[in-house]
Every structure is written in structure tokens, then in C-alpha cells.
Chains A and B, each alone.
Chain A
Amino acid sequence: MNQKIFYSLMIVGGCLSLLWSPKGYTAEQTVVQKGEYIFRATGGCGCHTDYKNKGEFLAGGRAIRTPFGIFYGTNITPDAKTGIGGWSDDDFIQAMTKGISPQGQHYAPVFPYTSFTKMTKEDLLHLKAYLFSLPPVEKPNKPHDLIVPFGQQIGFMLWKKLHFQETKFQPDPEKSAEWNRGAYLSEALAHCGECHTPRDWQGVLKEKMRYAGSKDGPEGELAPNITPDGETGIGDWGTADLIEFLKTGTKPNYDDSQGLMMEIIEHGYSHLKKEDLAAISLYLRSLPPVHNPEASTKSSDEDDEY
């Protein structure tokens, strides 16, 4: 309900700014509007909203089941006490790109700073401006419930030493601007690979299986193969199919998407411009195809559908 009121206010605000701004709404987007777009492109940060239990928007508490235990999404509303309200720009950038809290704690890689590290500084600050424009909610974070030995600070630090490198997105000069935009959106913002790539026993993404799907996706769901493999991936999906899917969740066989992906589309990708969805589509379709029957997109074509 709160969310509805909030969105209504945003729409009203948007209309008003259209009247007031001499250059018009589209010509001059505010920093908050730009930040909201970044927010949508990341998929809507759904791990931080406990939708199932009607939790407040981005106030945390959502249980995320993984093979390493249960993580609880944190409060990222601008509440000074329990959220990120006290964070400086540098704190925010450090958290998003280095996986380190303002207090110097190392975050578990369930928080995809492993992807966000590639974001531009500008996008990061816009995202922060958007998050800080939202209503603060006082709600203390819930401690994670992890299987020993995974829940140890020293463990996260070691993991990062071994498997994490702070990096910036490197455009490929040989590829088109559209391809590079798609690569940036997919790799740095939408973080597709975090769920659609299988992980090893240490939770490290298997590089050879990049985007090839994982049967142990978050919340125990299958995250299917999104490489253009003909038999088990999206090889037979055209650009129009992918755009339609990211916009509405409808697959080329006209079944709807379920579970987490639907949620991410609803709160995130469906709000993106068509050009950006086309860029993501171009990028995904350019990936090396990987055959992975374990996480086939066709797994739903069985006779147990209804």
C-alpha cells in the first residue's frame, strides 16, 4: 500500500515537474530519476524487500536460501539508525564496488558487488540519490543463518582475496556501441550471471559455464541457460522474443515466467527503454553457446505443466 502511494506521488511529481521544467521532463532528468532507472536496471534490488511477508520497500528481512545457508537481505532505506541513511558517497561506493561496509566489515558475495564493481561512479551516485529519496524505514537487520564455516568474516575476506577483483567495465572497441551498452547493462547492472552461472563448492562462478544456467539458483529455483545454445539455451529466441520476455515475462512459447525472474522483470527490467532491452538481447545472443542440459530452458516443455 505504502508503495502504491509512493508510486502515485512519483507519478504526480513527475507530471508536475513536466509543467514546471522549462526544458521538459525527458530533456532534463533529475538525478533521482536517473537513479531510479539504474535501480530498475539492476532488477529492482528485490533481495532487500520482503515481498512475501509484505515487508516495507527495501527495508530488508527477506530470507534468501542458498546452499551456504540463509542470508537475510539488509535494510537499504535511508534510515540513519538501521538503514544506509548515515552513509557518505564514498561509503556507498566502497560497499558496492569493494564489498566493504562503512565499518570495515566484508560482505558475503551473495551481495553481488562482484558485478556492481563494474558500475560507473556516476551511475553509483545516481543510484544512491534515488535510494536516499525513498522513505526511511526503521527496521534492524536480521543476522544471517549460515552453515559453519561459511559465515565467518575471515572467510569472506579470504574468499575475496582469492576470487574477487575490483574492476571497472572495459568496453570492447571492436564491438558496436549497442553491444557495449548491452554488456555493461548485463554485467554491471542487471547482474544476470550471478544467478544464471553455476557456482562451485566455494560459491565461485564457474567461468567456463558463464550464463549457462544453474540448477541451484537462489531460493532453490532453476536459473536456466541463457547462452544462445540451440538445444538447452535461448538459441531459438530472436531479439523480439527477448525484448518481449524482459518487458512482460512472456516466453516465446507464450508461457509466463515464474518465480524470481517474474519478480525481477516486474520491479526491474520491464521499466527499461526498448533500446536498452535490445542491447541486452544483442549481448546475450553474442555469448558463446554452452550446452547445459542440467539447466535447460526447455525443462518446462515437459508434460507436467498443468
Chain B
Amino acid sequence: MNLQKNIKYFLLILVLFGIASPLQAGSDEDAITYRVRVMKGIGSNMGSIGDVLKGKVDHKQLIVHYAKAMNEASKTVTTIFKQDTRTSAKKTRSKPEIWTKWGEFEDAAKKLEDESAKMIAAAQSGDMAKIGAQMKALGDSCGDCHKPFREKKK
């Protein structure tokens, strides 16, 4: 009798977990890995523009594409950081302030969206001086978010 009851509970727990797990978000570890991936992608597009400006390659006409890619990715930043990973054991330089000052974090992410949109416009104008100046503003928008929300390199 008792054993039967225990089995019932056991089954109930199994069923509950079975239903609940697909509804649960992924692990914190995966969330961290994922956001590193996306953020590095943004940095990589930044580099694709920068190497042209440094004169390493002659792909001026491609700048607009990387600016668009950055702009699209910038719209996903707040979503990929939504999962609060403060209790995760995985090493991350993301500061707790992201989640304690979420509004400010959103504003900082929005700035990247705005500045990358301006980069699209600058690139479309074809004016290299304009693109260069906008690169500075775009870079500043990275730093303005990294400073308050990312731990210094140790």
C-alpha cells in the first residue's frame, strides 16, 4: 500500500518534470555562451568596418552591409541578456548591474541600435569622413555600455 503510494508520487513528480522542463529556459551556462557568441559577432562586424577604415582592405562599398548586420544584432541584445545568470558558476565578466539596473542597461543597448542605424546612413552617403566620425560614435556606444556593465579584465 505504502509502496504503491510512493510510486504514485514518484510518477507524479516525473510527469511534472517532464512537462515543466521544455517550458524552462536553458541553463545559465548556455545563456552565457550564447550571449558571448552574439556580442562577439557584433564586435566582428565592427571589425569588418574598421579594417576598411584602417585601409587594410578596399571594401568601402561593403560597409553598409556590416552596419546593417550590427544594427539587426543590436536589437537582440536585451533579449539575450534577460536571463539573470548572477548565480551561475560559469566565469563571466557581465556585472550584476545589468539586472539590478535593467532600465539603464536597456538604454545603453538602445544607444548601440541608434548609433549603428546612423552608421547605415553614413555608409549609404559614401562619405568616408562621415563614416569615420560615425565609427567613433559607434565605438563610444560600445564603451559606454561596457564601462558600467562589464567587469574589467583581470
Contact = CB atoms under 8 A, between A and B. Distances in A.
Nearest to A299: B153
Interface string A231-253: 00000001011001000111011
Contacts of A240: 54-56
Contact of A244 (B36, B40, B50): B50
A253 B48 CA distance: 10
Contacts of A259: 152-153
A202 interface: no
Contact of B43 (A221, A255, A302, A303): A255
B47 interface: yes
A174 interface: no
A248 B139 contact: yes
A217 B97 CA distance: 26
Contacts of B92: 304, 306
B55 A253 contact: no
Contacts of A255: 43
A220 B154 CA distance: 8
Nearest to A260: B152
Interface residues of B, number: 29
A299 B153 CA distance: 8
A85 B36 CA distance: 51
B152 A221 contact: yes
Contact of A254 (B35, B44, B56, B90): B44
Interface in B39-67: 39-40, 43-44, 46-47, 50, 54-56
A137 to B, nearest CB: 26
A221 B151 CA distance: 12
Given A221-B153, A256-B142, A306 B50 contact: no
A258 interface: yes
A254 B93 contact: no
A262 B140 CA distance: 12
B126 interface: no
Contacts of A220: 154
A306 B35 contact: yes
Nearest to A243: B54
A77 to B, nearest CB: 27
A277 to B, nearest CB: 13
Residue among A248, A258, A304 with max Cβ neighbours from chain B (10 Å): A304
A250 B139 contact: yes
A304 B44 contact: no
A90 interface: no
Chain A interface helix/strand/loop/mixed? loop
B50 to A, nearest CB: 6
A222 interface: yes
Contact of A258 (B35, B44, B55, B146): B146
Given A303-B33, A304-B92, A249 B50 contact: no
Contacts of A258: 146-147, 150, 152-153
A305 interface: yes
Contacts of A244: 50, 54
A256 B33 contact: no
Nearest to B142: A256
A197 B136 CA distance: 31
A305 B40 contact: yes
A305 B139 contact: no
B139 A256 contact: yes
Contacts of B33: 303
A255 B142 CA distance: 8
Contacts of B143: 249, 256, 262
B5 interface: no
Contacts of A262: 143
Nearest to A266: B143
B102 to A, nearest CB: 16
Contacts of A306: 32, 35-36, 39, 92-94, 150
Contacts of B152: 221, 258-259
A78 to B, nearest CB: 32
25 contacts: A221-B153, A222-B153, A222-B154, A240-B54, A240-B55, A241-B54, A244-B54, A252-B47, A253-B43, A253-B47, A254-B46, A255-B43, A256-B139, A258-B146, A258-B147, A259-B152, A300-B153, A303-B32, A303-B36, A304-B36, A304-B93, A305-B93, A306-B36, A306-B92, A306-B93
